[in-house]
Amino acid sequence: MAALALAGAWAVLPAEAAKTPRVLSPDEAIVAAHAAFRAGDPVRLARYSAGLQDHILEPYLEYWRLKLRLEDMPAGEVRAFLAREPGSYLAERLRAEWLKELGKRRDWQIFELERSPLTAEDADIRCYGLAARLARSDASALEELGQFWLESKPLPEGCTAAAEAAIRVGRFTAADVWQRLRLLLESGQLGAARTAIGWLPAREAPDERQLTLAATQPHKYLAALPKTLESRPQREIVIFAATRLARSDPRALAAYLEGRLGQLLPAAERRYLWGRVAYEGARTLLPEGADWYERAADAPLSDEQLAWKVRSALRAGRWPPVIEAIDRMSVSVHQDPAWSYWYARALAATGKPDGARAYLLRISGQPNFYGVLAGEELGEAFAVPEPFTQPGAEELAHARATPGLARSLELYRVNLRSEATREWAFTVRNYDDAHLLAAAELARGAGLFDRAINTADKTVSTHNFRLRYLAPFNEVFRVHAKAHDIEEAWLLGLTRQESRFIVNAKSGAGAQGLMQLMPATARWVAGKIGLTDFRPARVIEPETNITLGARYLKLVLNDLGHPLLASAAYNAGPGRARRWRGATPLEGAVYAETIPFNETRDYVKKVMANTVYYSALLGGTRQSLKARLGIIPAKANGERFNEELP
């Protein structure tokens, strides 16, 4: 079939040649070659690559060719490419893909020989590594399988084989399978759950029809409980149905737990489900969430459940549960600046000022939302770190001469942004501060403001915060900030978070330009302000984009009355920003921390912290971050709002 397809592809060439196609420029040929690679078409890839010898992106053309043939590629060809491109991003990428192919072939000898030069392994390669060790009877590989076993997602191929071996030799028992099965069902991974069911003894396997009913109609399933739940398969399906119901209707599950379901379940399982209903209730900002967590008592809770226990306690104004929940977090999560800050606040609120100060000192000065807030709690005056270190001539020369950076710049120039960004990130991953600043300056000079900001953001002790907080198009931003009576620093801070000032940025959802406007929003605002010559294509023009984005932000601010709410609304919509308020007034930092959407929560914190930095750099109002966050008013019955706002 492959031969026929190839013959068919060549058959159309004479007809195409007869049309005398226009000769492509090198830029057009590179873009066309990439499209052919993405389409899996080696014939077109070869055609467009012809004549591009000695092009700066020739290694990409070769990588694309090899990648399309990797399934039957002789080891010698792969090794030759790796030898020609030592230490490069493309060598790392091809080696990783080749190792996965070797793992699929079970060619463990070459796999283990070629694995060691890889600098970063993903889960697939680590799992194939375990399978390789099992193939040479290294039983210690089974001990390492546990790190994958209790993840709530499908096992990579190599780990599936290792898991089956572990079950055969009794390393994993039926109880271990049930533990994994519960995690998978809890997270909705039904395909992986069915695989796990196949590892149970036949007498313990749950009924598939009952499992399907529990997944699709949990309310109905729980309304017809059996007389007892002594059978583990039956009990696990009931627990699965309960966790499914908790997602859609936490209050309904709480009612079941108050009734017969709670009576039938053992105490440990009952507390487990209270932990689930508390988590789902807290994530939907139900006021009962904090009380439900109390009913979970000492049930094991994941870090994510504990995080929402903290958030529900913050909204309820209860400080002791904040301390208790953070104490139970894993060490790595406990050290997150958010939890250091709230732990300190809880200690201070419960009469332990010395402990509070110690925790604030841990994060004070960090260039992030909680680092700024911690400094303010300690009474420190905010200041942008100085000096603004400029890269030296030697480091700049090194940056210009670095092949990875040069290839990345060329990829950006022909608008192959995804490839360019990965190449850049790989190249600078181990740079020291001096070389990071040089690379950031190189990016700034090329107009790649996102790379400049992200690279300057990585410095550890020597900084240039003017590079971290670039303000391109600042004259345009200043004009529109003044015209709409909004703070220029906030406008810049929001745009930095939206696009890093990429003019033609486009999100997966379709938002475009510097301020990431959705097409419908852009049209609506253009109509509101009477922009008669507006066309959708103009939304990526900086002047037009900032005109529309600033006006929309002002309309949202007028409607919601607070920059913090307006920032949340800009990302997630005005309706959600309103609903996330409390029944009583909330401290702004509490509102920000308890936003239910991970993306919006992170976005709002960064926008507000960005605003503080831009304000200082622009010489604007020296208002503290805590003052900017202020107090968010409570929801009010019958409040009026602009229903037109998209």
Q: What is the pLDDT of residues 552-589, one digit of tens each?
A: 999 999 999 999 999 999 999 999 999 999 999 999 99
CA quadruple 610, 466, 474, 537: dihedral, nearest 10: -70
Average pLDDT, the chain: 93
Q: How many residues does the chain have?
A: 646
**pLDDT band for position 162 (cuts 50, 70, 90):** confident
From residue 173, alpha-carbon distances to 168, 180, 199, 200, 453 in Å are 9, 11, 9, 9, 51
| Selected residue with higher pLDDT from 636 and 128 | 128
Q: Which residues of 380-419 are buried (b: 16+ CB within 10 A; e: fewer)?
A: eeeebbeeebebeeebbebbeebebbbbbbbbbebebbeb
534 in a domain, yes or no?
yes
52 in a domain, yes or no?
no
Tell me the per-residue pLDDT of 590-645, one tens digit each, with 9 for 90 and over. Answer: 999 999 999 999 999 999 999 999 999 999 778 999 999 999 999 988 788 877 78
d(CA 207, CA 222): 16
Same domain, 548 and 605: yes
Q: Output the pLDDT for position 615.
A: 96
Mean pLDDT of 382-388: 94
Same domain, 425 and 535: no
389: DSSP letter: P
Q: Output the pLDDT for position 21.
A: 62
Lowest mean pLDDT among 2-6, 14-18, 536-540, 543-547: 2-6
pLDDT over 80 (residue 526): yes
pLDDT over 90 (residue 188): no
d(CA 206, CA 194): 10
Mean pLDDT of 259-284: 96
Question: Which 3 state secondary structure label does DSSP give 548?
Answer: helix
Rounded to the nearest angstrom, the gap between the alpha carbon of residue 195 and the centroid of all alpha carbons in its chain is 28
Residues pairing with 506 in the sheet: 512
Query: Angle, to 10 degrees, between the axis of helix 369-377 and the axis of helix 598-618?
Result: 60
Same domain, 560 and 422: no
Q: Are 588 and 629 in contact (CB under 8 A)?
A: yes
Q: Output the pLDDT for position 9.
A: 42
Tell me the per-residue pLDDT of 419-443, one tens digit each, with 9 for 90 and over. Answer: 999 999 999 999 999 999 999 999 9
274 in a domain, yes or no?
no
Q: Output the pLDDT for position 646.
A: 83
281 in a domain, yes or no?
no
Same domain, 408 and 495: no
Domain count, the chain: 2
230 in a domain, yes or no?
no
User: What percent of the chain has pLDDT above 90?
Assistant: 83
d(CA 326, CA 340): 9
d(CA 85, CA 427): 13
Q: Output the pLDDT for position 550.
A: 96
* Residue of 498, 541, 643, 644 marked active site: 498
Q: Is 85 a catalytic residue?
A: no
**pLDDT band for position 369 (cuts 50, 70, 90):** very high
Q: Output the pLDDT for position 11.
A: 45
Q: Name residues whose C-beta falls within 8 Å of residue 260's C-beta, 6 or more positions apart in sequence.
A: 225
> Can you give the C-alpha Rg of the chain in angstroms?
29
**pLDDT band for position 146 (cuts 50, 70, 90):** confident
625 in a domain, yes or no?
yes
Same domain, 443 and 502: no
Q: Output the pLDDT for position 541.
A: 94
Q: Are 78 and 72 in contact (CB under 8 A)?
A: no
Q: Name residues whose C-beta falls within 8 Å of residue 468's C-beta, 6 or more positions apart in sequence.
A: 367, 453, 456, 457, 613
The last residue of one of the domains, among 441, 463, 485, is 463
Q: Output the pLDDT for position 23.
A: 85
Mean pLDDT of 113-137: 93
d(CA 265, CA 299): 14
Same domain, 627 and 481: yes
Question: Which 3 state secondary structure label does DSSP give 594?
Answer: coil
Question: For the range 411-418, what are the long-range contacts, defined as Cβ-Cβ under 8 Å and sequence gap of 24 or more?
Answer: 411/57, 411/60, 412/446, 412/448, 412/451, 413/27, 414/27, 414/30, 414/31, 415/31, 415/504, 416/30, 416/31, 416/34
Q: Output the pLDDT for position 532.
A: 83
CA-nearest of 358, 360, 328, 326 to 341 is 360
The residue segments making up the domain with residue 587 are 474-632
pLDDT over 70 (residue 4): no
Same domain, 458 and 554: no
- Pairing label, strands 586-587, 631-632: antiparallel
Q: Which residues of 62-83 are buried (b: 16+ CB within 10 A; e: fewer)?
A: bbbbbbbeeeebeeeebeebbe
pLDDT over 80 (residue 496): yes
Same domain, 479 and 446: no
Q: Output the pLDDT for position 59.
A: 97
Lowest mean pLDDT among 203-207, 372-376, 521-525, 541-545: 203-207
Is residue 632 within a helix (H) or strand (E), and if so which, with residue range? Answer: strand 631-632
Mean pLDDT of 289-310: 96
Mean pLDDT of 262-283: 96
Phi, psi values for residue 586, rounded to 5°: -120, 140
pLDDT over 90 (residue 515): yes
* Residue 577 belongs to domain with CATH number: 1.10.530.10
Same domain, 550 and 570: yes
Q: Are 583 and 634 in contact (CB under 8 A)?
A: yes
Q: Name residues whose C-beta falls within 8 Å of residue 264's C-beta, 6 or more positions apart in sequence.
A: 225, 228, 229, 238
Q: Output the pLDDT for position 20.
A: 53
pLDDT over 70 (residue 2): no
pLDDT over 80 (residue 454): yes
pLDDT over 80 (residue 3): no
Same domain, 446 and 518: no
498 in a domain, yes or no?
yes
432 in a domain, yes or no?
yes
d(CA 407, CA 328): 47
* Residue 446 belongs to domain with CATH number: 1.10.1240
**pLDDT band for position 19 (cuts 50, 70, 90):** low
What is the distance in angstroms between the CA of the first residue and the CA of the last residue of the chain? Answer: 52
Phi, psi values for residue 151, rounded to 5°: -95, 140
